[in-house]
Amino acid sequence: IPAGYRPSPTLLAGRTVLVTGAGDGIGRAAALAYAAHGATVILLGRTVEKLEAVYDAIEEAGGAQPAIFPMDLSSAPEADYEGLAKAIGETFGRLDGLLHNASVLGERRPVANTTWKAWETVMQVNVNATFLLTRAMLPLLQAAPRASVLFTSSGVGRKGRAYWGAYAVSKFATEGLMQVLADELENTSAVRVNSLNPGATNTAMRRAAYPGEEPTGNPSPEAIMPAYLYLMGDDSLTVHGQALNAQ
C-alpha cells in the first residue's frame, strides 16, 4: 500500500460496495469512508440499531443513500445469501466491492480446553459465512467492470499463536480462501481478491482481546482507512492474490 496514499474524493463514485459487520469498529469506519468517497454502501450486520446509526451518519454527511441488510452470520441459512444476491441484483445489477469484515473473536484458551460450540461458532461466522457470501456474490462481482473483494485477516492468521485457537485457524482459512479464489480468477475475470490485516486497532474486539492495554495506544479505525480505500478503488487494479497489512 503506497505510503501516504491519498484517495481521490471520487474514488468510488458510482460504485456499490457491500460491507459486513458495518455497524461497529473497522466495518463502520469502512462503510463511512467508502460512502464519503462516492460509493453506495450496503450495510450488513446483526444489530439493526447500529446499522441504522451508520445509515443516518452517511445520509447526514451527504453520501449516497445506503441500504441495510440485517443478517446474523452465525445462523443465517444458505438461502439468505442467495436472497441477498437476488436483492442486490434487482436493485443495482452488479456489485463493485465486497469487504468481508465481520468476525468474532471467540474464547481464547488452549486448544485442549476449547469447546466444540465455541469452535463451531467462530468457524461459522469467520469462515463458513465468508464462503457462502463470496459464492453468492461472485456473479454480481463478475458483472462489474473492475470489482474488488477484500478479506480481513489478522497477524494470527499468518503465524499461529498459543491460545488464539479457532480465531487464528479461521484467519488462516480466510487466507486460504483468498488464495484459492485468486488463483481461480487469475486472467479469467476482472474480479481481484486480496486479504488485509488491519493490525492492532482500537475497537471493541481489540479491547476484549487485550483488556490490560491502553486502548488509545492503538490507531483508530478511521486512521487505517487509506488501506481500505486503496484496495477497494481502481488505484489497486493490479493488486491481486496478495496478503497485505494496513499498518
CA atoms within 13 A on the CB side of 202: 10
CA atoms within 13 A on the CB side of 125: 22
User: In the complex, what is the shortest distance from the CB of residue 97 to ligand NDP, in angstroms, rounded to a whole number?
Assistant: 16
Among all residues, whose Cβ is closest to ligand NDP? 25
Select which of 34, 55, 81, 167 is catalytic.
Answer: 167
Distances (CA, A) of 246 to 54, 69, 198, 236: 22, 27, 5, 14
163 is catalytic: no
Distance CA 148, CA 43 (A): 17
- How many residues interact with ligand NDP (rule CB under 6 A)? 29
Between 45 and 97, name the residue whose CB sits nearer to ligand NDP. Answer: 45
Handedness of CA 10, 16, 18, 24 (dihedral sign): positive
User: In the complex, what is the shortest distance from the CB of residue 215 to ligand NDP, in angstroms, rounded to a whole number?
Assistant: 10
Among positions 27, 38, 63, 233, the unique one binding ligand NDP when judged by CB under 6 A: 27
Stretch that binds ligand NDP, among 24-32, 53-61, 182-190, 224-232 (CB under 6 A): 24-32
User: In the complex, what is the shortest distance from the CB of residue 44 to ligand NDP, in angstroms, rounded to a whole number?
Assistant: 7
Can residue 74 be called a binding residue for ligand NDP (CB under 6 A)?
yes
Stretch that binds ligand NDP, among 6-14, 40-48, 79-87, 106-114 (CB under 6 A): 40-48
Phi, psi angles (nearest 5°) of residue 103: -155, 160
SS3 state of residue 73: coil
Can residue 194 be called a binding residue for ligand NDP (CB under 6 A)?
no
Catalytic positions: 167
